[in-house]
Structure 1
Amino acid sequence: MRGTVTLITGGAGFVGSNLAHRLLAEGRRVRVLDNLCRRGVEQNLQWLRKTHGSNLEVSVIDVRDAEAVKAVMHDVSQVFHFAAQVAVTTSLVDPREDFDTNALGTLNVLEAVRAQPLPPPVVFTSTNKVYGGLSDVPLVLEGQRYLPQDAQWRAGGVTEARPLDFHSPYGCSKGTADQYVIDYARSFGLTTTVLRMSCIYGPRQFGTEDQGWVAHFLIRAMRGEPITIYGDGKQVRDVLFIDDLVDAFLLAEQHGKRLSGRAFNIGGGARNTISLLDLVDRLEALHGSRPRLAFDDWRTGDQRYYVSDTSAFQQATGWQARVPVAEGTARLYQWLAERERSPEAGRTPLVATAA
């Protein structure tokens, strides 16, 4: 008999704590595995404990510790594997740590799952960086956005048929993990699903320059601090509000057997695209003043254009992104503003990092 606990690795971070909140609100037992290496994530756990009480379990361990990971896999009915090193820039500084966390850590999780009498299903969060820089896609500049020349690309985006092209140590480590998760369904019969995420944003995201750029821009603007843009700011991303991503997780769990061994692109899609300069304009409207900008060189692995074609996942599960960019950024801005005003929060949480 399979267990009754949902395990979320990296569950104290931005994505993990939002999923944990949804599951706990439904009355499910949740076990969070997190090494708490990122400043501020303890506050996400405090929030979860205060809100949900004893249904939350916390194991402060590192996914690089294979025996510790195996020890917390007992009684687990579902695994959401989010624990990761999340920044391209960090991977360039210390590729070995990046590999050990993302690739070896994922192997440890898969092996711990495989060792169970009835292995629980696994949903894994991969990244759009597995598709590389997309330098072969012809682009044109329209206003303050790069856009594909091809009309079909504009209407859709990157599909799962796109060849993989790992770029940067981060892309390599996450891509390696991505392929291991898929292959463990093929080679060992595990139930596994990969979601290749574009840019996710929303409450409980304490963004930094290296990761969580939507929240990072909002935080800097709210504090009157300059924003550094790498490149020209006209690079385009599809952005997905966290509530929509949590919906996708639950659908991936619900349809796990049918989706097993497959990877799906998950993002806001063509209807929820924004350039960095577009977001600056949005910030001016939200905050009442335009943030100061500084520009620097393009960074390794930065795509000038990336938009997810989410039609495969939509056709398989009925999912679609529901929160438009204007609404989502306003909701995140309001949450951050409330945190800034809170005497309990102080200033520390807004400069913390959450995965």
Structure 2
Amino acid sequence: MRPESPDFREMPIAIIGGSGFIGSNLADSLLSDGELVLVIDNLSRPGVEQNLEWLTQKHGSRLTIEIADIRDAEALAPLVARSKAVFHFAAQTAVTTSLVRPDEDFDVNLRGTFNVLEAARRSGKRTPVVFASTNKVYGRLADLAMREEDGRYAPRDAAIHAHGIDETRGLDFCTPYGCSKGAADQYVLDYAKSYDLPTAVLRMSCIYGPRQFGTEDQGWVAHFLLSAFSDRPITIYGDGKQVRDILHVADAVAAYRAVLDRIEEISGQAFNLGGGPQNAVSLRMLLKEIRDITKRDVSIRYDRERTGDQPFFVADTRAIEALGWKAHVPWQNGIRDLADWLQRHRLDPHPEPARYVA
């Protein structure tokens, strides 16, 4: 993203959903580098006020906070119009909630994203929009043949085993959450084609790290740690052999910034974002690591597999690595970092179920 004038440089970068986990970490990174940041949020998720208090205390007047909901197009438009770029993290984040309230899921994830895009388009400034999507846009991946390897699932396809799933994989929306995020993902990409709006999409795997308010439905790495620290049982849906490539939030923030820095040349593209094969862990592997960290005998309960759950997802990150990005935090180090942060801050281990931010 190239500065065009002194006025442009004094415009803030908007982070919609900026009081949340990834948004607040991104805000801190940008503010620390001298950027002005505008956080747009409706504060609907319990506990996120703590993130805004932290940002305000650390950065003061370089941070502006506006309480607004992305479903309110009239309130959103002038905020986007005064921003030089937009990161869009606001979402209803839980598959379980989407199955119970598909109408709310649709309004927040799809209608809300449409409002963001329209606000950027009507600003008349070609305002860049970088959208936080999800690996759920690829569906359950039921066609991938699996085998068990060291007590976890592994794909039989040699290329996927070596590198993970890349962006050429066909989309296959499953569950209302997958549909709303997937449709929003496609709208964001289309606005680059139809309206020449600089946009990009990051399809995220599992991001974890400090400032995460983990619940059973979303932010499960933090949820596992919080449950262990509070001696509460952890429920595993399925057999625990499911594999995810977990990525520390510091690396995720660096990826979002790399995309914005190159937005003009990569506009209209989607990137898979995760820890890659080197950070691929099964739920059972993670629980063993948590036992080692906490020195506690974590109680595990098993329940039936959840609708739309993927037995395996590891992101092929070679496309985003071509932008100069790389995951630097090994998952074992990252889990210990999160555990240390949780112990220092002792966040409520039993927050309300995940809803949406902004």
Tell me which of 330, 333, 346 is aligned to 2:339.
Answer: 333
Confirm or deny: 8 A CA contact 1:40 1:349 kept in the other structure.
no
For residue 122 of structure 2, what is the amino acid of its counterpart? Answer: A
**Mapped pair 1:70 → 2:67:** no
Structure 1 residue runs of 5 or longer lacking an equivalent are 341-346
Structure 2 residue runs of 5 or longer lacking an equivalent are none
Tell me which of 119, 130, 133 is aligned to 1:126.
Answer: 133
**Mapped pair 1:146 → 2:153:** yes
For residue 33 of structure 2, what is the amino acid of its counterpart? Answer: E
Offset, 1:350: 6.2
* Cα distance between partner residues in 1 of 2:186 and 2:40: 22
* Cα distance between partner residues in 2 of 1:308 and 1:290: 31
1:11-52 deviations in Å (ceiling 9; x for gaps): 000000000001111111111111101000011001100111
Offset, 1:290: 2.4
1:120-142 deviations in Å (ceiling 9; x for gaps): 11110100000000010000012
The residue aligned with 1:240 is: 247
* Cα distance between partner residues in 2 of 1:65 and 1:144: 48
**TM norm structure 2:** 0.95
1:270-349 residue pairs with structure 2 within 5 A?
270-315=277-322, 317-340=323-346, 348=348
The residue aligned with 1:256 is: 263
1:34-77 deviations in Å (ceiling 9; x for gaps): 11010000110011001111111111110000111102123211
CA-based RMSD: 1.3
- 1:351 and 1:244, CA in 2 relative to 1: closer, same or farther beyond 3 A? same
**Mapped pair 1:178 → 2:197:** no
* Cα distance between partner residues in 2 of 1:227 and 1:148: 27
* Cα distance between partner residues in 2 of 1:187 and 1:32: 28
1:203-254 deviations in Å (ceiling 9; x for gaps): 0001000000100000000111100000001000000000001101111011
Aligned length in residues = 348
Confirm or deny: 8 A CA contact 2:81 2:119 kept in the other structure.
no
* Cα distance between partner residues in 2 of 1:333 and 1:129: 27
Confirm or deny: 8 A CA contact 2:275 2:315 kept in the other structure.
yes
Tell me which of 79, 85, 88 is aligned to 2:92.
Answer: 85
**Which secondary structure does the structure 1 equivalent of 2:281 belong to?**
strand
**TM norm structure 1:** 0.96
Confirm or deny: 8 A CA contact 1:19 1:246 kept in the other structure.
yes
For residue 116 of structure 2, what is the amino acid of its counterpart? Answer: V
* Cα distance between partner residues in 2 of 1:26 and 1:214: 29
The residue aligned with 1:159 is: 166
Confirm or deny: 8 A CA contact 2:223 2:349 kept in the other structure.
no
1:290-331 deviations in Å (ceiling 9; x for gaps): 20000101001110000000101112x111111000000000
**Which secondary structure does the structure 1 equivalent of 2:271 belong to?**
strand
* Cα distance between partner residues in 2 of 1:26 and 1:186: 32
* Cα distance between partner residues in 2 of 1:304 and 1:73: 39
- 1:233 and 1:296, CA in 2 relative to 1: closer, same or farther beyond 3 A? same
**Mapped pair 1:265 → 2:284:** no
Confirm or deny: 8 A CA contact 1:281 1:290 kept in the other structure.
no
* Cα distance between partner residues in 1 of 2:118 and 2:124: 12
**Mapped pair 1:34 → 2:41:** yes
**Mapped pair 1:351 → 2:357:** no
**Which secondary structure does the structure 1 equivalent of 2:296 belong to?**
coil
* Cα distance between partner residues in 2 of 1:313 and 1:133: 23
Offset, 1:348: 3.1
* Cα distance between partner residues in 2 of 1:201 and 1:135: 26
For residue 325 of structure 1, what is the amino acid of its counterpart? Answer: W
Ranges of 4+ aligned residues in structure 1 off by more than 4 Å: 352-355
